[in-house]
Structure 1
Amino acid sequence: MLINCVVYEDGSKLADIPVSRIGEYLSLPRCFVWVALNDASQEELLELQQAFDLHPLAVEDAQNGHQRPKVEEYGDSLFVVLHLLDADADAPRTAMEVGELDVFVGRNYVVSVRNRSSHGFVEVRERCQREPELLRNGPGFVLYALMDAVVDRYFPAIDAFDVELEGIEERIFTQGGARENIQGLYGLKQRLTVLKHAVAPLLEGANKLHGGRVPQLCVGTQEYFRDVLDHLNRINGSIDAMRDTIGIAIQANLSMVTIADGEVTKRLAAWAAIFAVCTAFVGIWGMNFEQMPELKWRYGYAMALGLIVSICGYLYYRFRRAGWV
């Protein structure tokens, strides 16, 4: 679905145009066309391929979707893939939906194709139009603005994960929550891995736009891509730190389970020892031999019960002091 098709000249919006008139403006000096689509059909991509002479391999990637984040050069044009992560910040346990933003950038055009995501980029277009002095840098600045918006959306997810992890850490030493804690930790680790797959490959791509042989499209905007790279490094560092913390938390949780099992084992062993004494004495007096002194003694039964109760009580006292019962 076509969202916008706008012509910009010298940093200012010139006109909204239909796709059929794109060719009229591509040859104008200091002009570029920005086309935005959502869940584009194959026919729409083919029409734009013909209008902008997009590389067929890049178009094929956009049609297939589910690409790894990357920055690829095709002659004097760029093809950039970004992952869009849609998660409810108020419900961090909700599974993350992974969308995709494919961006074709050339000397006089930008084509952004959003797939499987409900969160648009209206604010990016508004930001660019509020800063005409920066928009004069052309498609390179638009690419930066799109990448910056996508990367900035990762920060709320990191903050939500951090809050969730702190909550689980507080519950680790609470009895009875071991299973829930393990489920929460592994669920959080899975969502962090999704975010890691969105950030780590993009680090290499963003570095291409900042240092070394910078593509001609990005000349003049390197410092802006350096800012994106800095944000990606911060997010990547936070992900690695949280994954390490999750590993430690899992080990601590398992240790608490082992300790709890040990406490149960000690209690069972203590009660088993107490009842073993009862069983031993009862077994002795239950052998039914004819010559047993206690059988004909008037107080023999009471003495036997008293002896059993006394020894069991003494054992209970000692186990109680040792913390076993």
Structure 2
Amino acid sequence: MLINCVAYQDGQKLDDIPVEEISDYIQRPETFVWVALRDAKPDELAVMKEEFGLHELAVEDASRGHQRPKIEEYGDSLFVVVKTIECRDGEVAVGEVDIFVGQDYILSSRDGETQQGFLGVRARAEKEPHMLRLGPAFVLYALMDAVVDRYFPVLDMLETELEKIEELIFSRGKQRDNIERLYELKGKVTTVRHVVVPLMEAVGRLHGGRVPSMCQDTQEYFRDVHDHLHRISASLDTIRDTIATAIQVNLSMTAIEESEVNKRLAAWAAIFAICTAFAGVWGMNFKFMPELEWKYGYPFALTVMVSVCLYLYRRFKKAGWL
């Protein structure tokens, strides 16, 4: 579905134009066309391929979708795939934006999973005509910068969720729930990392070293995007390390609780074992047992057993086993 199709000349907006006139405008000097699509169908991409002369392999990748974040060069044009991530009811939703960039055009196509559009990006770019004069490369930067900026709220959500789990680590009886939540959080972090790391590697090609000709004048802007991605990647690594540590602490707390239970069971078992031992001896009923016919033999036996049990109870209590 076509969102908008706008022609710009020397950093100024000319007009919203029909798709059929794209080829006429891109032939003008210092003019480029910015087209935005959503859920582009094969026939729409075929029309854009005809108007802009897009490479067939890039169009094929955009048609299939589910691409890894990447930047590919096809002659004087670029094909860029960036992943969007958004928070929805505590979950991480991943979308995709495919961007075709040439000397006189830029075409973006986002899928339905990406609920946030880029109208704000266009409005911001149009307020900076001195930057729009840099052409499609600046628009590419503006789109990538907007996508990357939307990663930060997701990162904040992951950090907040981790902090909540950490507060419950030392709560008794919740170790299993904590482990499940930590592994669920680890899965979310892995999903975000699979979005960020490949894009960071790809953006690194747009500044320093051999840079595509159209990006020569915008290297410092792509360096800024790369720095943001590097910060996000470092934060994700920190979260992953903290999760690993939290899991180990949680397992240790579980082991400690089990040890405490085992000590209590062992202490009570020792106490009852004494009673069993005394009862076993006095219950043999041998003929010549000294206490067998003694008037106070039964109370004496009970007193001895109770006294020994109380003594053991106090010793175990003092040792912290009970």
Alignment TM class, shorter chain as reference: over 0.9
**Counterpart residue number, 1:97:** 93
Which residue of 210, 223, 226 maps to 1:226?
A: 223
Deviations 1:105-129 (Å, cap 9, x if unpaired)?
0011111000121111111111111
Answer yes or no: is 1:199 the counterpart of 2:226: no
Task: Give how far 1:213 is off.
Answer: 1.4
Secondary structure (helix, strand or coil) at the match of 1:7 reads strand
| Deviation sequence 1:73-118 (CA, Å, 0-9, x none) | 0000000000011214xx5xx3311100000000111110001211
- Please state how far the C-alpha of 1:295 moved relative to its aligned partner: 2.5
Pairs within 5 Å for 1:111-122: 111-115=107-111, 116-122=113-119
Amino acid across the alignment from 1:33: V
Which of 143, 148, 151 is matched with 2:148 structurally? 151
Deviations along 1:35-83, one digit per CA (max 9) or x if unpaired, are 1011111111111111111001111111111111011100000000000
Would you say the 8 A contact 2:97–2:110 is kept in 1?
A: yes
- SS of alignment partner, residue 78 of structure 2: strand
Aligned-partner residue type, residue 35 of structure 2: V
Map 1:131-146; keep pairs closer than 5 Å: 131-146=128-143
**Aligned partners of 2:6 and 2:13 also within 8 Å:** yes
Q: Quote the RMSD (CA, aligned, Å).
A: 1.1
Gaps of 5+ in 2: none
Gap runs ≥5 in structure 1: none
How many residues get paired?
321
Match of 1:208 in 2: 205
* CA deviation after TM superposition for structure 1 residue 244, in Å: 1.1
Give 1:294 shift: 2.1
Corresponding residue number in structure 2 for 1:72: 72
The question of whether the paired residues in 1 share the 8 Å contact of 2:285 and 2:292 is answered with no
Output the CA distance in 2 between the equivalents of 1:185 and 1:217: 44
Distance (whole Å) between structure 1 residues aligned to residue 9 and residue 3 of structure 2:
20
Give 1:108's aligned residue.
104
Residues of 2 paired with 1:250 and 1:238: CA distance?
Answer: 18
The aligned residue for residue 297 of structure 1 is 294
TM-score w.r.t. structure 1 length? 0.96
Preserved contact between residue 86 and residue 151 of structure 2 (Cα < 8 Å): no
Query: Which whole-Å CA distance do the structure 1 matches of 2:214 and 2:142 have between them?
Result: 14
Out of 271, 280, 283, the residue aligned to residue 280 of structure 2 is: 283
Q: Tell me the amino acid that sits aligned with residue 111 of structure 1.
A: L
Q: Secondary structure at the match of 2:247?
A: helix
* Residue number in structure 1 paired with 2:25: 25
Q: Distance in 2 between matches of 1:180 and 1:126?
A: 46
